[in-house]
Chains A and B, each alone.
Chain A
Amino acid sequence: MGTSSATGRSRELLARPTVVLTLGGGVLLLLDLLAQLAQVDIWIIGGSLPFSQLANYLWTGLILGLIIGLAGVGLSLTYSILNFANFAHGDYLTIGAFSGWSVAYVIAGLGSLDIADLVLVTAAPSDVGASVASTPVAVLVGLFAAVVVTVLLGLAIDKAVYKPMRNSEGISLLIASIGVAFVLRYLAALLFGTGRLGVTAASQIPSTNVFGVTVSAHQLTILVVAVAVMVAVHLLLQMTTIGKAMRAMADNRDLARITGIPTERMITATWILGSGLAGAAGYMRVLTRGTVGFNDGYLLLLLIFAAVILGGIGSIYGAIAGGLLIGITSRVALVWVPGEFGRPIAFGLMILLLLFRPSGLFGGVETA
């Protein structure tokens, strides 16, 4: 009779060649990268890649990774504490982006431009001249507004949608979150239109050249703000009682299962933190991208999921690390594949990880 499908064993057997292949492929890619940098051609590896281009990929990947990481912290928290995959999380970023920039525009252009154009972010970017350099207050207040609006929205949605379903299965909550995603995304489309809106004028953002890498003031802002926020989140989770409780709950799903449903206070704290970070991430994404559209957050959603899974669901630091890895990978991959494949490569990475290390790169092996 068949001795084939001892599930655990076949999985191990399946995993071993995959690990070898993955490691081998990784080494080959690394050698190729080095050869390309050295401008040599050996067998199938090699080519010519200017160092500055690689550095550019790394830098833009880092910035994207910081945004994904920030957004990922919130997704990871809700995923593990409330036990469902929130498919509306990307659209929280969109709401943060629109609400924050609406406020920033009003502050930056008040008096000189039509208020309606400012509120709807339709005023010409070069007229408003919103940038960290020329209107730092507006940009900062906008960030603050993005966080506040998204937090309020996150809490309202929890009360209306998820609270009546506290005892439901994860899949029901997931389906409900798809409904929430539709509502948020098309509400944004209704209010701000379906076109892509220009927000910042590239010519007005100071930038400098470091070793051939263009570093803009907005990218630096993201770096500073993201790191500051991450440190703040770290302190919150280490120092405060509710933070410690959240961390324990998020890190250890068994504990969550034993202690039962998390308290309402903890759920509120989770949504505040998660939505606030999502709003900030959505707002800052516009700083580097320069434009905003109603689909933006949703398009980032799968990358955020990838980061969370990479870091291990429930791990806050893992989500940040996963975000950086996904951001950098999706850019550096462009050394080998055309630009249009950056996203599929990141998805592929996530799928491989789901299959062979569902507990994340840094987590232990999950006991199913």
Chain B
Amino acid sequence: MSTNTSRLFEFDISYIAATMLLLYVIFLLLSVLQGYPVAGIVSSLQRVTFLVAVYGLAVLALNLHWGYAGLFNIGVAGFMAVGVYTSVMLTAPMGASPPGLGLPLPVGILGGMLAAALVGLVAGLPALRLRSDYLAIMTVAVSEIIRFTYKSNTFSQFTGGAGGFGSIPPGPIRRLFLQDASSIISEPTAIGAFVFDFMQFPMLDGFSLGRPVTLNIFSTLLIVAVLALVYAFLVRAVNSPYGRVLKSIREDEIAAKSLGKNTNRFKLKTFMLGCALMGLAGIMWYGAVGQSSVYPNTFKPELTFYIFIALIIGGAGSNTGSVLGGALFAGLLFEAPPRVATILSDVLGVTQTPDTIIAALGPVASGQFVPLLGFFLDNMSQLRFIFVGVLLIYLVQRRPDGLLGHRSEVAAATDLSARPSRSNGGDRDE
């Protein structure tokens, strides 16, 4: 690795580490303020890590589309849905309802990614020639068609319909740790026994983690490992001649064509690869790794927009920025506000939470602000979305490059600035 790239790499790793540290400190504080027991604190940190990892995966995939190739795909949720549903249909037991094919998890994951890539091929083959706003409308329509299809009654015997697909088999960590993966109180395997014993922390008094937390922690670590792999894969993929072609398509497709690049093929390949990674993100997020059921309404266009906002925060065009943006969105905008609201209601002694804005505003006239505050705290999820919308507008207007989008990450496999040595210069008479 060249000096330039490795310098960037060290910087990036420390950047991500610092962000995670910040998030952990924040959530540690929140948990302590909420009076969580030790296991609760650990569990809350685990949940943040999980969200950061799954957002990171999805944002990285979108960054390949939009940040690198300039493909404005706002059907992310649909491709995630195809990934999850295909994988659970492949891996669910045959006799279950809805039934599956009972195949092993790796087959399910690969199958899910492949299916997402194929849907990407079918949608992308004609659509990638379109103007970017048409592509946007078309992809969001495709993702809605996908959602309606999984939701429909007509196919509910295979998909579970609106009620969701409820027969997801136990995740890989359960299988690894438990003899009967479907029962958390069953006899552990050898590895499981070791890990469960270790997580009791016999040497630490009063610090002990039970099986559910342990299983969640290890499932999350597995997803973090997948994120690391995908990150490394993408960094390698785009720091190359391939990445250069993608950037050129984003900048000026006609110029790229005039230099002999078959841009249509590059776009289609990249679209399929990104869709496969979106499928993978979906599988890690809602599928077989830790969840027991998946619902079609999870995959509304809102999900796509969250991922977009995370990417804009981090900076389109930067893989590290994608992970950072995912982390900040998941931690600070998604997970933290409701918990802050709970703490605030406790601290401020808010007991009345009016049902309507009018009931909340009424007492303001007599100088009482607590009911209004209570109303807002009670409706934190709506306020959060309003804030997200305002933030998005602010970012587009003032900080379109996000955190890292402005920095120039040279797409090359080598350090281009390394000027060839003029060793043969001595032969010349200059």
A touching B, CB within 8 angstroms: yes
B-contacting residues of A (Cβ < 8 Å)? 5, 7, 11, 14, 84-85, 116, 119-120, 122, 161, 164-165, 168, 170-172, 174-176, 178-187, 189-191, 193-194, 302, 305-306, 309, 338, 340-341, 343-344, 347-348, 350-351, 354-355, 358
Docked CA distance A186–B388 (Å): 10
**B145 and A348 within 8 A (CB):** yes
Can you spell out 13 A-B residue pairs with CB atoms less than 8 angstroms apart? A119-B358, A171-B72, A179-B391, A182-B305, A183-B386, A183-B393, A187-B382, A187-B386, A189-B382, A305-B137, A347-B142, A354-B134, A354-B138
Find the B residue at minimum CB distance from A337: B154
Given A120-B357, A175-B392, A341-B148, CB of A14 within 8 Å of CB of B141: no
**B397 and A183 within 8 A (CB):** no
**B144 and A347 within 8 A (CB):** yes
Q: Which residues of A contact B129 (CB under 8 A)?
A: 7, 11
Docked CA distance A341–B155 (Å): 12
The answer to whether the Cβ of B201 comes within 8 Å of any Cβ in the partner chain is no
Given A190-B357, A305-B137, A347-B145, CB of A172 within 8 Å of CB of B396: yes
The answer to whether the Cβ of B149 comes within 8 Å of any Cβ in the partner chain is yes
Docked CA distance A323–B400 (Å): 35
**A161 and B393 within 8 A (CB):** yes
Q: Which residues of A contact B130 (CB under 8 A)?
A: 354-355, 358
Q: Which residues of A contact B137 (CB under 8 A)?
A: 85, 302, 305, 309, 350, 354
Please name the 6 residue pairs, one residue from A and one from B, whose CB atoms are nearest each other, closest first. A182-B389, A179-B392, A183-B389, A186-B385, A179-B393, A116-B358
**A355 and B127 within 8 A (CB):** yes
Min C-beta distance of A91 to chain B, whole Å: 10
The answer to whether the Cβ of B359 comes within 8 Å of any Cβ in the partner chain is yes
**A165 and B396 within 8 A (CB):** yes
The answer to whether the Cβ of B126 comes within 8 Å of any Cβ in the partner chain is yes
Q: Which residues of B contact A348 (CB under 8 A)?
A: 141, 145
The answer to whether the Cβ of B352 comes within 8 Å of any Cβ in the partner chain is no
Min C-beta distance of B238 to chain A, whole Å: 21
Find the A residue at minimum CB distance from B264: A5
Q: Which residues of A contact B131 (CB under 8 A)?
A: 358
**B136 and A182 within 8 A (CB):** no
A-contacting residues of B (Cβ < 8 Å)? 72, 126-127, 129-134, 136-138, 140-142, 144-145, 148-149, 151-154, 262, 264, 305, 308, 312, 356-359, 379, 382-383, 385-386, 388-393, 396-397, 400
Given A176-B396, A354-B130, CB of A185 within 8 Å of CB of B385: yes
Partner of A302, one of B141, B153, B308, B388: B141
Min C-beta distance of A118 to chain B, whole Å: 10
Find the B residue at minimum CB distance from A356: B126
Min C-beta distance of A76 to chain B, whole Å: 13
**A85 and B136 within 8 A (CB):** yes
Docked CA distance A179–B387 (Å): 9
Given A182-B305, A183-B386, A302-B144, CB of A175 within 8 Å of CB of B312: yes
**B305 and A176 within 8 A (CB):** no
Partner of A165, one of B312, B379, B397: B397
Docked CA distance A186–B389 (Å): 9
Partner of A186, one of B151, B153, B356, B386: B386
Given A165-B397, A178-B308, A350-B141, CB of A355 within 8 Å of CB of B126: yes
**A338 and B154 within 8 A (CB):** yes
**B386 and A190 within 8 A (CB):** yes
Min C-beta distance of A316 to chain B, whole Å: 19
Q: Which residues of A contact B154 (CB under 8 A)?
A: 338, 340-341
**A164 and B397 within 8 A (CB):** yes
**B305 and A178 within 8 A (CB):** yes
Partner of A344, one of B148, B262, B357: B148
Min C-beta distance of A288 to chain B, whole Å: 22
Min C-beta distance of B297 to chain A, whole Å: 11
Which one of A175, A306, A341, A344 has the greatest number of beta carbons of chain B within 10 Å? A175
Q: Which residues of B contact A161 (CB under 8 A)?
A: 393, 397
**A122 and B390 within 8 A (CB):** no
Min C-beta distance of A18 to chain B, whole Å: 9
Q: Which residues of A contact B149 (CB under 8 A)?
A: 344
Given A14-B126, A119-B358, A340-B154, CB of A174 within 8 Å of CB of B305: no
**A176 and B392 within 8 A (CB):** yes
Min C-beta distance of B10 to chain A, whole Å: 32
Find the B residue at minimum CB distance from A349: B141
Docked CA distance A176–B390 (Å): 9
Docked CA distance A355–B122 (Å): 12
**A85 and B133 within 8 A (CB):** yes
Docked CA distance A119–B390 (Å): 26
Q: Which residues of A contact B379 (CB under 8 A)?
A: 190
Q: Which residues of A contact B134 (CB under 8 A)?
A: 309, 354, 358
Find the A residue at minimum CB distance from B257: A7
Query: Given A186-B382, A354-B134, A358-B130, list of 16 further CB < 8 A pairs?
Result: A5-B264, A14-B126, A119-B358, A171-B132, A179-B392, A180-B393, A182-B386, A184-B389, A186-B383, A186-B386, A190-B386, A302-B137, A340-B153, A341-B148, A350-B141, A355-B138
Docked CA distance A343–B134 (Å): 19
Q: Which residues of B contact A183 (CB under 8 A)?
A: 386, 389-390, 393
Partner of A176, one of B72, B356, B397: B397
Q: Which residues of B contact A350 (CB under 8 A)?
A: 137-138, 141
Q: Which residues of B contact A84 (CB under 8 A)?
A: 133
Which one of A7, A171, A306, A348 has the greatest number of beta carbons of chain B within 10 Å? A171
**B396 and A180 within 8 A (CB):** no
Partner of A351, one of B142, B356, B358: B142
Min C-beta distance of A153 to chain B, whole Å: 14
Min C-beta distance of A53 to chain B, whole Å: 20
Min C-beta distance of B287 to chain A, whole Å: 24
Q: Which residues of A contact B382 (CB under 8 A)?
A: 186-187, 189-190, 194
Find the A residue at minimum CB distance from B70: A171
Which one of B130, B133, B137, B140 has the greatest number of beta carbons of chain A within 10 Å? B137
**A122 and B152 within 8 A (CB):** no
Which one of B134, B142, B359, B396 has the greatest number of beta carbons of chain A within 10 Å? B396
Find the B residue at minimum CB distance from A178: B305
**A120 and B126 within 8 A (CB):** no
**B392 and A182 within 8 A (CB):** yes
Which one of A179, A193, A354, A355 has the greatest number of beta carbons of chain B within 10 Å? A179
**A338 and B152 within 8 A (CB):** yes
Min C-beta distance of A130 to chain B, whole Å: 19
Find the A residue at minimum CB distance from B357: A191
**B396 and A170 within 8 A (CB):** no
Q: Which residues of B contact A305 (CB under 8 A)?
A: 137, 141
Q: Which residues of A contact B359 (CB under 8 A)?
A: 116
Min C-beta distance of B301 to chain A, whole Å: 9
Which one of B141, B262, B305 has the greatest number of beta carbons of chain A within 10 Å? B141
